[in-house]
């Protein structure tokens, strides 16, 4: 079993993060239903184990992602209180109360906010990694792969060997449109075409940890 490759301490650390992420999101939804929160929220329920697993094997990167990022923020050490304040538009929030659920940022954990253009975190993450040569993490929703600047970012990363680990999260939907209606190609085949090491994974957290451990020293890579 893949799980046996990891220590009990690391497995417990990962699952504590999963539980914290899931508990935070369930409670956030309850509060949202009271009407106290005056903005749309983008929950990461159902994908909270992905960030928790990646964070165990890829510590202290620069982090770029779009919406549904609460679990990523928490898994990499973001302050839950600052996230709560952010949901309330309070200046004590991690983004000064100005970013909200979709545009989180945090200097403390090198988590960079998103401007709202679908997939632009990919191109920005490539530029940041190229300029700094620091290990970088770029979360991409699978539908964002259909944006032209994501594809050009992958090409640039392959050419200049930028130290970016791409995590493609695929729930088969772009809003409410399933993938089979939108296209015939797969994200991993695009990565392969650019010459980027890739692997297709389930959302089993041990499997994700195993992939990250094997690929993190040969970047760029795509999971």
Q: What is the pLDDT of residues 131-176, one digit of tens each?
A: 999 999 999 999 999 998 899 999 999 999 999 999 999 988 888 8
* Global pTM value: 0.95
pLDDT value at residue 134: 97
Task: Please name the residue that has the structure tokens 């690391």.
Answer: 10
How high is the mean pLDDT of the chain? 95
Q: With H, G, I as helix, E, B as strand and everything else as coil, classify residue 221.
A: strand
pLDDT value at residue 62: 98
Are 114 and 66 within 8 A, CB to CB?
yes
Among 84, 50, 65, 76, CA closest to 202: 50
pLDDT value at residue 4: 85
Residue 118's pLDDT band (cuts 50, 70, 90): confident
Start-to-end Cα distance in the chain: 20
Please give the torsion angle defined by the CA atoms of residues 67, 153, 174 and 75, in that order, rounded to the nearest 10 degrees.
-30
Q: Is the peptide bond before 220 cis (omega within 30 degrees of 0)?
A: yes
User: For residue 1, is pLDDT > 80?
Assistant: no
- Please, which residues bridge with residue 64 across strands? 112, 138
User: For residue 67, is pLDDT > 90?
Assistant: no
> In whole angstroms, what is the distance from residue 220 CA to residue 153 CA?
11
Compute the average pLDDT of residues 30-35.
97
């Amino acid at each position: 079993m893949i799980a046996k490759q990891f220590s009990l301490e690391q497995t417990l650390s990962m699952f504590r993060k999963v539980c914290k992420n899931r508990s935070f999101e369930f409670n956030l939804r309850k509060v949202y239903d009271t009407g106290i929160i005056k903005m749309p929220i983008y929950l990461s329920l159902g994908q909270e184990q992905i960030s928790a697993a990646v964070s165990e094997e890829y510590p202290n990167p620069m982090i770029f992602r779009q919406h549904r990022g609460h679990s990523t923020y928490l898994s990499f050490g973001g302050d839950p209180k600052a996230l709560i304040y952010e949901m309330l538009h309070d200046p004590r929030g991690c983004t000064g109360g100005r970013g909200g659920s979709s545009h989180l940022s945090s200097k403390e954990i090198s988590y960079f906010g998103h401007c709202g253009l679908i997939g632009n975190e990919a191109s920005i993450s490539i530029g940041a990694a190229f300029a700094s040569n620091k290990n970088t993490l770029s979360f991409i929703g699978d539908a964002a792969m259909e944006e032209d600047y994501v594809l050009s970012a992958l090409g640039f990363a392959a050419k200049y060997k930028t130290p970016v680990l791409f995590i493609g999260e695929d729930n088969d939907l772009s809003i409410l449109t399933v993938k089979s209606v939108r296209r015939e190609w797969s994200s991993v085949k695009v990565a392969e075409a650019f010459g980027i090491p890739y692997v297709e994974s389930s959302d089993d957290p041990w499997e994700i940890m195993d992939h990250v451990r094997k690929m993190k020293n040969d970047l760029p890579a795509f999971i």
